[in-house]
Amino acid sequence: MVQTYTSPIRVYKFPFELVMAAYEKRFPTCKMIPVFVGSEITSEVNSPDGATSVIERRCKLNVDAPYLLRKIAGVDFVYFIQRNSKDRRRRTLLIEAWNESFSSRLTIKETCKYSVHPDNEDWTCFEQDASLEIKSFFGFESAVEKLAIKQYMANIKKGKEVIDYYIQELLDEGVTHVPRFSIEEDVGNTGDADDEITIVNSQITAPVNPPASFDGKLHRDSLYKLEADYIHRCLGDLDPVEESRLVELKQWLQEHHKEKIPSDAHLLRFLRARGFIVEKGREMLCRSLIWRKQHQIDRLLSTWKAPEVLKQYFPGGWHGYDDAGRPVFVLRLGNLDVKGLLRSVGVDGLLKLAITVCEEGLARCEEATKLHQHPVSSWACIFDLDGLSMRHLWRPGLKVLYRIIEVVEANYPETMGRVFLVRAPRLFPILWTIVSPFIDENTRKKFIIYGGNDHEIEGGLKDYLDKKYIPKFLGGDADCDVPEGGLVPKSHYLPEDADLESGIDSISISSESLYQSVSLVKDSYHEVPVVIQESGSVITWDFDVCKGDCTFTILYTPDPLPPMAVPPPSPAAHPSLMDSHPGLQLTRVVPVINCTDGSSEQGTYAAEKPGTYILQWKSIEPASTSAQAHSQFTFDFGLTSSYKCKVLYHYDTISQDEFRGSLSSVQSFSSLSMA
């Protein structure tokens, strides 16, 4: 298995030349990094004009490995080769390093780049990529991998400190400016070009010109570049591994979801929920994005209005902040008439209410981040349990509660910072025993429970909230305008013949969805004919691959389709029209697009002439065994195991005059989608 690391962009607010002077001071040894014992230059090549240079060093490291492992390996030191390619004219330095010791047993590669900040030429950016692959190591592969990762992460933390240290040392010495390279400096030189080339050691392994990776490997798209200062300021303190995984996930989304990328804080929540394992976080996130699109969640706050019965009898609302700046939601659970509300608004109404609260919570976290000038990514909840009784254990109500917990944990992970359960009655242990198994373990650890009036004594709510934010009914000073709740009058109830439990396992968030779904078995097709009457009309499409891999293309025929060739109206898989009707004149007008599990595709095609255009999806085998392994963890959405691929799609046709891009057919992600 290959372990990888990708750093965010680290910014030194000093010119490139001064940073380079500080970087050179760390050789031949570095007192800031004890494991770096020493280095020697094995080759050095300078261009005739002095603009570029390539220096190769052999570096000696004293690895802090267990005694037994060092004895088995038979070494006290390990050696690395480091090649530095500097371009003074372009103000860049590329550093490539790889291990010399044990190269047949393990491969360690590192690539770093110093370059000028794109927005400020007096600042310097630093990027870093690394990979580790262990082939065999005397049966100690796992131990060596953990040791190498631990040592490498420790050195990463030290890296920025080292440069900062030597920059300060230069400033203390009075060196505040290092002139930039200028070709005019060498105009008066009449010596031979060979005089400008210094060679140490006859074994020259580095070319004068920088390698191809100079502009390629570390030139990441600005849409998913993240600066370390930005991460610290807006997302919080992350260790190097967490930073790397965030950059990796954002890069994957940029490649597969085009412009539909949620905010960095949103990505971070899903990574945290899956222990910063990118594959698992990505799967969870993709399922959630599809869920949001399918049920038009981004429109929920603007389109769904809570019924009057909820406004009067749902005893919950937002109120103040805790000591960490989190917005606080107060719910007087003991005053909640679960049966009355369920009989009045149904399962769908209660689930929409829960999702609306979560959406409001995300918006309030963004506001709190701006208000308190530090990252706020979660909210706190106060559940007042005074009045909790056996009526709250009503079976249909508990089933709805389980469903709400399931939806919230799948789509709003790591949004619960703290949960205060106050005035817990004697009945509470019974309810907690029933409900707690359905709550994620990480979330359960955030619960703080107070029985009786314990929330008012030392160690109570006052340790976490300012008294001005604690409601008066909990011993604070705040006039909390949360409704008191109570029994819902039966005049609000739905008809008696309404089935309260129907839909609990398959709740519809919206009455209609723009998207259709189709399930494809291996090598089968789904084809949608679109009849275009006017040339210049635009076909737009938007689809997500929920499970498996597939291809997408558009075919064209000027002839009307035979009656038996028209695909059925319901989503279903069938043979291709090209195979079943060989006499049909079909032309491919859109190149085949390969779509992998979790990918999202949007696009447009301007029809050059009237006729029938056929949108075609085909299920294919995963490109690799790893893709197959990935597929088995994909959320099923009710899909049986016999299907290989599932696609959620929407298409539209727009006249030439009406066309303004594909936004009319692609649901936007509003603030959640803004990178």
CB 13 within 8 A of CB 116: no
Mean pLDDT along residues 497-524: 65
Q: Where is mean pLDDT largest: 208-217, 233-242, 425-434, 486-495? A: 486-495
| Burial group, residue 254, by CB count within 10 angstroms (0-12, 13-18, 19+) | middle
Q: Which strands, in side-by-side order, build the sheet including 316-321?
A: 316-321, 327-331, 379-384, 416-424, 447-451
CA 30/CA 73 separation, integer angstroms? 26
**Residue 201's pLDDT is what?**
40
pLDDT of 675 over the 50 cut: no
pLDDT of 411 over the 60 cut: yes
Mean pLDDT along residues 322-331: 96
**Residue 504's pLDDT is what?**
54
**Residue 614's pLDDT is what?**
94
CA 282/CA 378 separation, integer angstroms? 20
What residue ranges define each of the domains in the chain, with the CATH number in brackets? 2-211 (3.30.530.20), 240-298 (1.10.8.20), 305-492 (3.40.525.10), 516-673 (2.60.120.680)
pLDDT of 206 over the 60 cut: no
**Residue 140's pLDDT is what?**
66
CA 170/CA 152 separation, integer angstroms? 27
- pLDDT digits 0-9 by tens, 628-662: 444 443 333 333 445 678 888 888 888 766 554 33
pLDDT of 563 over the 90 cut: no
Residue scoring higher pLDDT (584 or 627): 584
Contacts of residue 192, Cβ cutoff 8 Å, sequence gap at least 6: none
- pLDDT digits 0-9 by tens, 157-173: 677 788 889 999 999 99
CA nearest neighbour of 544 among 300, 289, 253, 298? 289
Averaged confidence pLDDT in the chain:
80
**Residue 241's pLDDT is what?**
83
Tokens of 523: 């090598």
What is the three-state SS of 219-282?
A: CCCHHHCCEHHHHHHHHCCCCHHHHHHHHHHHHHHHHHCCCCCCCHHHHHHHHHHCCCCHHHHH
**Residue 655's pLDDT is what?**
78
| Burial group, residue 283, by CB count within 10 angstroms (0-12, 13-18, 19+) | buried
| 219 — pLDDT class (breaks 50, 70, 90) | very low
**Residue 501's pLDDT is what?**
55
- pLDDT digits 0-9 by tens, 437-494: 888 888 888 999 998 889 998 889 999 999 999 999 999 999 988 999 999 998 998 8
**Residue 462's pLDDT is what?**
93
Residue scoring higher pLDDT (435 or 183): 435
Tokens of 125: 């950016």
- pLDDT digits 0-9 by tens, 647-656: 888 888 887 6
| Of the candidate ranges 22-26, 105-109, 151-155, 206-210, the one whose mean pLDDT is the lowest | 206-210
CA nearest neighbour of 329 among 384, 383, 381? 381
**Residue 73's pLDDT is what?**
58
pTM of the model: 0.71
**Residue 513's pLDDT is what?**
57
Amino acid at 611: G
Mean pLDDT along residues 341-368: 93
Mean pLDDT along residues 38-42: 92
Q: Which residues pair with 383 in a beta bridge?
A: 331, 421
Mean pLDDT along residues 370-391: 90
CA 119/CA 662 separation, integer angstroms? 32
CB 471 within 8 A of CB 317: no
CB atoms within 10 A of CB 129: 19
pLDDT of 611 over the 50 cut: yes
CA 145/CA 134 separation, integer angstroms? 7
CB 544 within 8 A of CB 599: yes
pLDDT of 110 over the 50 cut: yes
Amino acid at 188: G
pLDDT of 67 over the 70 cut: no
CB atoms within 10 A of CB 433: 9
pLDDT of 147 over the 70 cut: no
pLDDT of 207 over the 50 cut: no
